[in-house]
Amino acid sequence: MRAAIDSPLQAGDVEKFGAIRSRIDAIVIGASAGGVDALDVLLPALPRSLRPAVFVVLHLLSERPSLLVEIFAPRCALPLREADDKEPVVPGTVYFAPPDYHLLVDVGPRLSLSSDDRVNFSRPSIDVLFESAADLYKERLLGIVLTGGSDDGAMGLRAIQRAGGVTLVQHPDDAQVPHMVKAALAHVTPDFVLSLSQIAALLKSLDESNAAHGKGH
Amino acid sequence: MTGQAGNRMTDFGIEMQLFLDAIYLKYHYDFRAYAQSSLKRRLTAAMSRFGCATLSQLQDRALHDPSVFPSLLDYLTVQVSEMFRDPSYFKSLRDNVIPTLRTYPSLKVWVAGCSTGEEIYSLAILLREEDLLSRTIIYATDINSEALMKAESGVYDLDRIAGFSDNYLRSGARHSLSDYYTAAYGRAVFDKRLTKNVVFSDHSLATDSVFAEVHLISCRNVLIYFNAELQDRALTLFGDALCHKGFLGLGSKESLRFSSQADRFADFDRPHRIFRKQEAT
């Protein structure tokens, strides 16, 4: 099993993703325990010319200021921001949910924050982000559930699938803490189940300069 | 494009618009310009609380059974806050704003959207410790009158006090929080002297207007529930209500940058989202 997830992307996955990638306008990513390491593989893989906006919920201790932007910015080609309320969504930007707020996407598209009750014991909650983004972006959304010890993200990924969006779950054997991806897999049969390095390879293929020439690598 | 239509409203979108119109027409509470995505979550939670499969069913209940309305209003409005939430905001008020407020012979403070009052007691304690409370009037406003009654009672569950106390200590506290409340039967009852000069009042940022000139407005994590247009309306009220160079404190992730009213305010303490009214340029 380990060998399988360490292998390069299967031709079938490359082809399947190639057929849908041009419709993706937004990517939502949810991670919990083990998430910093996982994002450290994925975010640097996002190409400079990425067109979709990227929204990230990572469960953190709520009382400390988030250092995510500082951690990842030096390694990323894209601008990274901690979300402010009502901020207009700029394509090719990565937005993190701030500690102790839910992050939602609203008409505009604009970012929207809320201090409402915790969902799945979490604020920010992955489900809250995923469900609001599914509402807005529908089939133009890619949702990714990564490592974690929570049930958060499963309902949100289902909402994305029901709205016609693309669903991707990290392979349980590849996740530092597999509980969250297993919970997602129990509710959704996703379009892709991949290792981090395979997900990174897919994200790299969202390079607009390639798409403009109508071919991949 | 799949089968889903592009800009056509969803059934829920249609029901939501009708529901909000109904609530406005019947009860004069205006949620029509609230931020859609979080309002949708709240309405969905209310549907399951009232056992309604659709928002139309909930609308039927709300229209024909007025006794349902107060608890429905809680679903639409109440934010659970903490005392001294974001302690460094209160620390900045104490260190940077109070020295200016001290120069006024009498003070008026407006806490807009005070909900169940946690912020009122936080500010009252801070003002008392700075010897300003006796010459301050605090206007505590909210649209939810039951929340206002809770705020006025100053009674909080004792199991929340440890968190409040922790925040208080990090806000530049001069005493112990226990100096300000009496604990009994699992509850903490705050000292009535803190709210002697507090005016609790029903006021809507969506439909009401300015009622006084004030030196400081604290409105934290309220505007996040509004859409951009309603935010602009509220910020217009704030700009009109503040005295020359008056202070405005917002929630830690609330910004004026995206508002039409941005040029009426200058950054005062940017990280803590404290602004100062400036003359329009």
CA geometry: angle A83, A85, A86, nearest 5 deg: 110
In a domain, A46, yes or no: yes
Domain that holds residue B39: 11-77
Which CATH number is B112's domain given? 3.40.50.150
pLDDT band at B38 (very low <50, low <70, confident <90, very high): very high
Query: How do residues B45-70 score in pLDDT, each as one tens digit?
Result: 999 999 999 999 999 999 999 899 99
Q: What percent of chain B has pLDDT over 70?
A: 97
Distance from CA of A3 to the nearest CA of B (A): 37
Contact B224 A84 (CB under 8 A): no
Query: How do residues A76-121 score in pLDDT, each as one tens digit?
Result: 999 999 999 999 999 999 999 999 999 999 999 999 999 998 999 9
Ramachandran assignment for A143, one of left (phi > 0), alpha (psi -120 to 50 degrees), beta (any other): beta
d(Cα A81, Cα B184) in Å, to the nearest integer? 46
Q: Is the dihedral of CA A33, A34, A39, A45 positive or negative?
A: negative
Question: Which residues partner with A144 through β-bridges?
Answer: A29, A168
Distance from CA of A117 to the nearest CA of B (A): 8
Q: What is the mean pLDDT of residues B27-33?
A: 95
**Do B103 and B159 have their domain in common?**
yes
Average pLDDT, chain B: 94
Which CATH number is A140's domain given? 3.40.50.180
In order of A3, B146, B187, the CA distances from B183 in angstroms are 61, 23, 6
DSSP state of B34: B
In a domain, B2, yes or no: no
| Domain total of chain B | 2
**Do B61 and B102 have their domain in common?**
no
**Do B20 and B141 have their domain in common?**
no
**Do B59 and B110 have their domain in common?**
no
| Domain total of chain A | 1
Q: Which of the listed residues B48, B77, B106 is the one where a domain comes to its end?
A: B77
**Do B148 and B32 have their domain in common?**
no
In a domain, A212, yes or no: no
**Do B91 and B72 have their domain in common?**
no
In order of A53, A73, A92, B142, the CA distances from A21 in angstroms are 13, 25, 14, 47
Question: Which residues partner with B109 through β-bridges?
Answer: B138, B216
Q: Across the interface, which of A84, A116, A164 has its CB nearest the CB of B253? A: A84
Q: Which of the listed residues B44, B77, B110 is the one where a domain comes to its end?
A: B77
**Do B114 and B243 have their domain in common?**
yes
Domain that holds residue A69: 2-206
**Do B245 and B181 have their domain in common?**
yes
0.80 exceeded by the pTM?
yes
Distance from CA of A197 to the nearest CA of B (A): 30
**Do B195 and B121 have their domain in common?**
yes
In order of B64, B103, B119, B170, the CA distances from B91 in angstroms are 48, 19, 14, 8
Contact A115 B257 (CB under 8 A): no
**Do B67 and B92 have their domain in common?**
no
In a domain, A45, yes or no: yes
Identified catalytic residue from A13, A59, A112, A174: A59
Residue type, B147: A
Residues within 8 A of B (CB atoms), A 135-194 only: 135-136, 138-139, 163-164
The low-confidence residues of chain A, meaning pLDDT below 70, are 1-5, 61-65, 209-217
pLDDT of residue A209: 63
**Do B73 and B96 have their domain in common?**
no
In a domain, A217, yes or no: no
In a domain, B104, yes or no: yes
And the tokens for A150?
Answer: 């929570």
In a domain, A216, yes or no: no
Identified catalytic residue from A13, A25, A32, A195: A32
In a domain, A188, yes or no: yes
In a domain, A215, yes or no: no
Q: Which of the listed residues B77, B107, B131 is the one where a domain comes to its end?
A: B77
Q: What is the ipTM of this complex?
A: 0.90
**Do B62 and B97 have their domain in common?**
no
In a domain, B6, yes or no: no
Query: How do residues B171-222 score in pLDDT, each as one tens digit?
Result: 999 999 999 999 999 999 999 999 999 999 999 999 999 999 999 999 999 9
